[in-house]
Structure 1
Amino acid sequence: MASIACTPPVPAAGDGDTAGPRERARGALLGLAVGDALGAPAENLKPSEIRARWGRITDYVTEQPCGTDDTEYAIFSGLLLARHGSALTPAHAEAAWHEWIADRAEGPFRGAGFSERGTLENLRRGLAAPVSAQHRHAWSDGLAMRAAPFGVFAAGRPTEAARLVAIDGSVSHEGEGIYGGQAVAAGVAAAMTGAPLPVVIAAALAVIPEDSWTARSLRRAVAVAHRGERAVRRAVVIGGYPWTDLAPEAVALAFGAYAAADGDFRESVLTAVNMGRDADTTAAVAGALAGATRGAAAIPAHWSSAIGPSRGRCLPSMAGHHVLDVAELLAPAPGPPRPTVRPPLLGYPGTEVLS
């Protein structure tokens, strides 16, 4: 059984928090996009293949780095969450999938990962959540890649972050796929308060079943993290298995990279990237955790400046949205109330977002 009741206490947001909640929110979502862009060229490669092409990746290796479906789906979930907050229901999530993905023409990525393709096919056949999640890839890391916004929204409340991301995931994932998303959301929620690394890891483990594949892999990864990325990879990668988007593997690699780097942003994402496998997702998750831990200022400026609005290559409806706009919606600046801006994802006219 999941040990949600045993979620460790995390510091209240602001307690010793030199970065501040808004800075951490920007760090989490910008960190996700940066990690995604850094890791995209190394996706599905072995470390030996990465070394043969680039040596050790220490920077962007493409002239025009950009995020993949990981960033676009995170924006999608962030806008959905900004509208409904803690009142989010599976019906809300399913309606958004229809209006802004399933019932529209898709971009060249055509829905992206296997779990997303299976979900879209089921929704187009008229199946509703949670039956829409009953496909062959419900265990993928497709929920984990879009889970960080829930941790940003529920800063300091890992259990609430885990509850909400499971609602979002009910449309597309089951079992280990849900657990992977919950671990990421809870970890980011703890990191958003400035919690130390062991507390972040404990928060992630506390919201998923102790005997789950995800929990076992995560524990193995962080136990050997002090020995570096090769040890982390050996501890969790399923040798010979052709698919790299396994949630238990990808989430464990991301937390292992984060732990090996002791929460340092640059080293967290680069460790994840150079381990290969589903490198865009593992680096995106590691980047979200480290960005929430250290804040946006910890992200190298030339990495941050390369991240622009989404190009909508996977989800055309997300074109023009920036992860920092989502951060503003989920963790607005303190002060007098600002005019309400309705995210277009949620059925309101217009295309404006906060800038």
Structure 2
Amino acid sequence: MSWLEDRSIAVITGAAVGDALGGAVEGWTPQQIEERHGGRVTGIVEPWFENWHNARPIAPYHKGDGHITDDTLMTRALVEVYAKRRTHLDAYAVAEDLVPLMIGEPRWIPELESTALLLQRVFLAEKWIVARLHYGHVDPREAGVGNIINCGAAMYVAPIGLANAGDPAGAYAEAIDVTGAHQASYGREAAGVFAAMVAAAVAPGATLDDVTAACLDLSHDGTADAMRAVIAAFRDSPVPQDDDDERALAARVREVVAPFDSVGPEYRQMSMDARRPSRTKAIEELPAAFAFVLAHRGDFRGSVLASVNYGRDADSIAVMAAAICAGLGGTEVVPTDWLDDIEQASKMDIRETGRLMASAARDILIADRERAAARNARLSEWASL
């Protein structure tokens, strides 16, 4: 297996593992999670509600039991766009290729236990993409303006990091362009920074310091402040040794991230300024995820389980933590016991999605190399004039 294929499979499958584990406890507090499951979650668990069909009418989803959520569904759709185009993407690719996938191709939705349109599963903030681009005919580069500001764009942009492997700045720029069709403000910024961190992680020989450097070099405004805060707090913090240490870590992460998070202390009862554009705020998911990665020194299991047991937007937090750790460690760090069960429960070959992304990324990187060589030749010629 080539390096690129290994890292592509690792990032895609690792993120799906984080998604499936975190989806079962999304929206709850660490204390509620322990009470519901008789202690900290250590793997795949059952749904929070036994009557999941109608416990929350706005979200009648079978979360848990190893089912991936919309995070992975959107990631897989973005991979399909890369596989079709085999080049770098922009906001127009979202309008021309991603939207048709969302509204025109029924596919298996594990949480619905049926075949349906991707549009019928995604959250309202992701339905915005279709409303603005398909029905509103808005300029794709500006379609994200007016949407609520959340992690909806950041949660599925790991493939952009793979398409720009080893080039964090390129990944940031591409993610900012692509997600202009979906998000604005600090939601769009988080997507750029997360894609850059994945691009840094998958470079041969990369370390956690390289991911940290990419984050510090490329983030802006409240996102930069939030990431600096978690780096200062957790880069050299003691690695948790037991459950009490993990509980203390979760509380400390929330304390550090809270000043930048607009959602507020009660995840299901958001603050009045929640999800509005701001230059001082950041989505909670990315800095929280990176805090757990730093505290666990990039260990996959430790970082993902810490993210899951944090609660709140646990699936997306775990997706981001998992993608970074898997990018650094490769397929060998993604637990096959979890992945096998998740693929079986979700009725999908997630490894194959990773292979598909590797194939597309290889073509993209080869074309990048050829363009770079041609440009260097021109620069050498011009320099002599």
Q: Which amino acid aligns with 1:114?
A: L
Partner of 1:350: none
Partner of 1:208: 219
Aligned partners of 2:120, 2:292: CA distance in 1, in Å? 30
- Three-state SS of the structure 1 residue aligned to 2:65 is coil
- Three-state SS of the structure 2 residue aligned to 1:130 is helix
2:179 paired residue among 152, 159, 169: 169
The alpha-carbon deviation at position 324 of structure 1 amounts to 2.1
Partner of 2:328: 293
Cα offsets for 1:267-296 (capped at 9, x unmatched): 010011111110000001111111111111
Partner of 1:196: 207
Partner of 1:31: 14
Partner of 1:306: 341
Q: 1:19 to 1:60 in 2, by over 3 A?
A: farther
Q: Which amino acid aligns with 2:14?
A: G
Q: Does 1:269 align with 2:270?
A: no
Partner of 2:371: none
Partner of 1:59: 43
The alpha-carbon deviation at position 234 of structure 1 amounts to 1.4
The alpha-carbon deviation at position 19 of structure 1 amounts to 9.0
Aligned partners of 1:217, 1:67: CA distance in 2, in Å? 28
Q: TM-score, normalised by structure 2?
A: 0.73
Greater alpha carbon shift after TM alignment, 261-270 vs 117-126: 117-126
Aligned partners of 1:87, 1:51: CA distance in 2, in Å? 43
Q: Is the 8 A contact 1:182 1:204 kept in 2?
A: no
- Aligned-residue sequence identity (percent) comes to 28
Partner of 1:252: 287
Give the length in aligned residue pairs. 307
Aligned partners of 2:335, 2:104: CA distance in 1, in Å? 39
Partner of 1:83: 84
The alpha-carbon deviation at position 111 of structure 1 amounts to 4.2
Q: Which amino acid aligns with 1:239?
A: P
Q: 1:281 to 1:69 in 2, by over 3 A?
A: same
The alpha-carbon deviation at position 229 of structure 1 amounts to 2.7
Q: 1:262 to 1:131 in 2, by over 3 A?
A: same
Q: 1:87 to 1:136 in 2, by over 3 A?
A: closer
Q: Which amino acid aligns with 1:199?
A: D
Cα offsets for 1:76-127 (capped at 9, x unmatched): 1122123334442322221123311145675487242232122222234323
Partner of 2:159: 149
Aligned partners of 1:276, 1:64: CA distance in 2, in Å? 17
Q: Is the 8 A contact 1:77 1:149 kept in 2?
A: yes
Alignment RMSD: 2.8
- Three-state SS of the structure 2 residue aligned to 1:156 is coil
Q: Is the 8 A contact 1:69 1:112 kept in 2?
A: yes
Q: Which amino acid aligns with 2:174?
A: L
The correspondence of residues 337-352 of structure 1 with structure 2, limited to 5 A, is: none
The correspondence of residues 104-115 of structure 1 with structure 2, limited to 5 A, is: 107=117, 110-115=120-125
Partner of 1:14: none
Partner of 1:232: 253
Q: Which amino acid aligns with 2:122?
A: A
Larger radius of gyration: 2
Q: 1:169 to 1:45 in 2, by over 3 A?
A: same
The alpha-carbon deviation at position 259 of structure 1 amounts to 0.9
Structure 1, unpaired ranges of 5+: 1-17, 312-319, 336-355
Aligned partners of 1:53, 1:259: CA distance in 2, in Å? 28
Aligned partners of 1:22, 1:177: CA distance in 2, in Å? 29
Partner of 1:314: none
Q: 1:324 to 1:168 in 2, by over 3 A?
A: farther
Q: Which amino acid aligns with 2:353?
A: V
Cα offsets for 1:201-223 (capped at 9, x unmatched): 221232222xx122211222232
Q: Does 1:218 align with 2:227?
A: yes
- Three-state SS of the structure 2 residue aligned to 1:306 is helix
Q: Is the 8 A contact 2:163 2:361 kept in 1?
A: no
Aligned partners of 1:91, 1:107: CA distance in 2, in Å? 21
Greater alpha carbon shift after TM alignment, 233-242 vs 43-52: 233-242
Q: Which amino acid aligns with 1:51?
A: E
Q: 1:19 to 1:88 in 2, by over 3 A?
A: closer
Q: 1:217 to 1:152 in 2, by over 3 A?
A: same
Q: TM-score, normalised by structure 1?
A: 0.78
In proportion to residue count, which structure has more helix?
2
